[in-house]
Amino acid sequence: MAFEQQLSAAVETGKPLFLHCRDAFTDFHDMLAPVIADGARGVVHCFTGNRVEAEAFLAMGLDIGITGWVTDLQRGQALSGFAAPDAPCSMRHITRARVEQFGWP
């Protein structure tokens, strides 16, 4: 499989992994475990999972990149208390209200 070849190439070259995972945590985690054990490193960028998934990736030594979804009132609840945005003005419901308020396109 192409993804497994890319993972192997990262181990062989010592290059970091820059990964996205969408609704596939178990398969993704299981595919990463052997290459992490072989010394691969990287970041799960644009993370949209829950707290348990984030903790599992962190336990593997991977970094997590949090998306703007953490500011969503419903989807962000999965990471409540674990991660928070540093720019409240970027919260989607506030941004949408500002667009409507000022009539921006």
pLDDT digits over 13-33, tens only? 999 999 988 889 999 999 999
51, 77 contact by CB (below 8 A) = no
CA distances from 94 to 44, 45, 97, 98 (A): 27, 24, 5, 6
| Domain spans, the chain | 2-102
Predicted pLDDT at 96: 62
Strands (E), the chain: 17-19, 42-47, 63-66
| pTM for the whole structure | 0.68
- Categorize the per-residue pLDDT at 76 as very low, low, confident or very high, splitting at 50, 70 and 90: low
Predicted pLDDT at 15: 93
Predicted pLDDT at 100: 67
The class (CATH top level) of 2-102 is alpha beta
